[in-house]
Amino acid sequence: MPAGVMVPARNMPSMISGNGNIGGFGTISGLSLGQPNNNMMEGQLHPFEMTQNTSESEIARMRDEEFDSALKSGSENHEGVSGEDDQDPRPNKKKRYHRHTQHQIQQMEAFFKECPHPDDKQRKELGRVLGLEPLQVKFWFQNKRTQMKTQHERQENSQLRAENEKLRADNMRYREALSTASCPNCGGPTAVGQMSFDEHHLRLENARLREEIDRISAIAAKYVGKPVVSYPLLSSPMTPRPLDFGSQTGSGEMYGTGELLRSINAPAEADKPMIIELAVAAMEELVRLAQMGEPLWMTSLDGSTTVFNEEEYIRTFPRGIGPKPTGFKCEASKETCVLIMNHISLVEILMDVQQWSTVFSAIVSKASTLDVLSTGIAGNYNGALQVMTAEFQVPSPLVPTRESYYVRYCKHHAEGTWAVVDVSLDNIRPNPAMRCRRRPSGCLIQEMPNGYSKVTWIEHFEVEDRGVHNLYKQLVSSGHAFGAKRWIATLDRQCERLASLMATNIPTGDAGVITNQDGRKSMLKLAERMVISFCAGVGASTAHTWTTLSGTGADDVRVMTRKSVDDPGRPPGIVLSAATSFWLPVSPKRVFDFLRDENSRNEWDILSNGGVVQEMAHIANGRDTGNCVSLLRVNSANSSQTNMLILQESCTDPTASFVIYAPVDIVAMNVVLNGGDPDYVALLPSGFAILPDGSSGSSGSGVADAGGSSGGSLLTVAFQILVDSVPTAKLSLGSVATVNNLIACTVERIKASLTCENA
């Protein structure tokens, strides 16, 4: 697990107590990987050791000393009292004073000029020379950097203030000149001085829009056969409409994109009229697909699923984007659901690539907007056209991703009814390496009372499914892996999550419920980043290069390494990711309930070392009791080891379930629970992705199974571990072997527990 990252926080009230209540207790110790230990046997992994940290009272004392010494250069400052002193009932107890010597400050100032970011070795050496603890040196440099940054920002603010005053004076001078200006023709007052700035700006904007509308209408009349006034070709990008779903690193850019998508650029000007024509036709097809019933959409015998009639589709839509390529098979699905979100908010999520990637992070491994052909009209997304690329995934390294190059088109059809359609652009720019394409897919959104929306989702893939592991072939071939049900279930769960974030009527009777609105928001945002990071690192995205390790007892374990540098949300160093997937003869619901329950955690979590796991606080974020963000405390069975905290999010819907967790620093979590910024809390998430196996009796985890007669589960186990805190270090084979044994032992423990339970 990741090494504990200490976040200094002066005068921060502790919120987590040693007895399981909100109070104060010791700091988290991190987990690190060293060289392999030959004592590993009988399921025990000794190379994972809890490192000893300085006590909380000493860290508080050092933190206060260094904060004041950096800002006051040696002036007297208070020293934090120890944990024993905190319990002293005397109210007016005098505090001791401490300050660095002038020599120590001068030496550290001189070193700071040469190296403001010393590493562990340099801090230890400097502390030895000056007679200081390495943590004292570390905090002094942190506070010195903060001081320098504050001074720099103060100087910049002063410069900007001066420039602002100068511009204001110039503006007033120009206004006076305009008010006294006269018309050269008639000698009367000029109209410019009488026209407001807003009115003048709107007149110019209206003239520009009128020209654009006329131009695009002429193009559309030539290629589509009728004037289209909803597509002003604007080159400026759409300003994102913020909706607080948090942030996803790189969601709008193509980091590590595969060769196929990397070779695709923005469309040429000559292609744009054809793209517009294709988008208009795709929108018409999507609306008809959403509204049609039999014989195009046939209901299964049990009434639980909708079956697509491909022959009827070909008769109804003979043109489209051309015939199905040889060797490709058709996957089409339709799903309808009522969601707890306003229809306009749903449109904004779908048309903003960052929000869309965040909401569907379990399905969209990466996405990018290559070009915006139209931003829409009337101040909304009506008529918006975007050329995009995306990569769709299943949360397992055993299923190849599906890459798509397509246009997304949004249209307002009637009062309270919108539609968003995607359609592949392969016929405009053919690529022989493309192994899938999307016929018109997307959703029809209808406004419902009380802020609800009715969404009908269509997914229509033509795909060549090579490279899918045998474990997942049945799930993928059934269409459930990438189908409409998975999209709509994911969206439904995210709408519930957002509703819980915005809720204000939090019940206060339950123990451990976080009622502080700012604290809830910060904790949910941190958990969201943890889930996104997990989903981005567990699939077979082209951004990853997995190496296979065989002979683990489970299916092949896939491992890869990453270097973390200057990422405030991830500890620096070499990170080793390991993942494997296997089948269990147990329903997804049973697997999910077992893995999320803190009382059964010591049955599979080797790193908890047999300690008792206790839930300290939680936030419910969905109808299902399994949808929850929890803060867990591991009370170590070994009294010499410090207790640790774990942030965990468990989420479930009828198509997939996740249990994702990461060890977190106690000081940092106190900041988050007080409503502080969670972006700088370092996380290395690990966890589980649970999918149905695709058999006829299999159901998602949202469906209860009384007698265990449902189908089996496909479970993906993934770990991220910091193996070296130096990013330039070499990865040792011992570290790989240790992680390999860790994941194999975890798999065996889960199999043993669930098989015995199911017997």
CB 741 within 8 A of CB 576: no
pLDDT at 593: 93
Across the chain, mean pLDDT equals 75
pLDDT at 728: 78
Residues of 329-367 as b/e, b for ≥16 C-beta within 10 angstroms?
A: eebbbbbebebebbbbbbbbbbbbbbbbbbbbbbbbbbb
Q: Model confidence over 369-420: pLDDT tens digits?
A: 999 988 887 678 888 999 999 999 999 988 988 999 999 999 998 888 999 9
pLDDT at 257: 39
Q: How far apart are CA 433 and CA 118, in angstroms?
A: 48
pLDDT at 423: 93
CA atoms within 13 A on the CB side of 635: 11
pLDDT at 282: 92
pLDDT at 504: 66
Residue owning tokens 């933190």:
63
Helical axes 517-538 vs 666-673, angle rounded to 10°: 130
Low-confidence ranges of the chain (pLDDT < 70): 1-98, 178-201, 203-205, 208, 210-212, 214-263, 302-304, 378, 430, 432, 503-513, 515, 543-544, 549-555, 610, 637-643, 696-710, 757-759
pLDDT at 46: 36
Look up residue 90 and give its amino acid: R
Q: How many CB atoms lie within 10 A of CB 559?
A: 21
DSSP 552: S
Q: Model confidence over 612-624: pLDDT tens digits?
A: 888 888 888 888 8
* Domains defined along the chain, listed by start: 102-158 (1.10.10.60), 270-501 (3.30.530.20), 514-695+710-757 (3.30.530.20)
Q: Output the CA–CA distances (angstroms, integers) from residue 285 to 281, 351, 444, in the order listed.
A: 6, 19, 12
pTM: 0.65
Distance of CA 275 to the CA centre of its chain: 31
Structure tokens at 677: 């910024």
Q: How far apart are CA 253 and CA 255, in angstroms?
A: 6
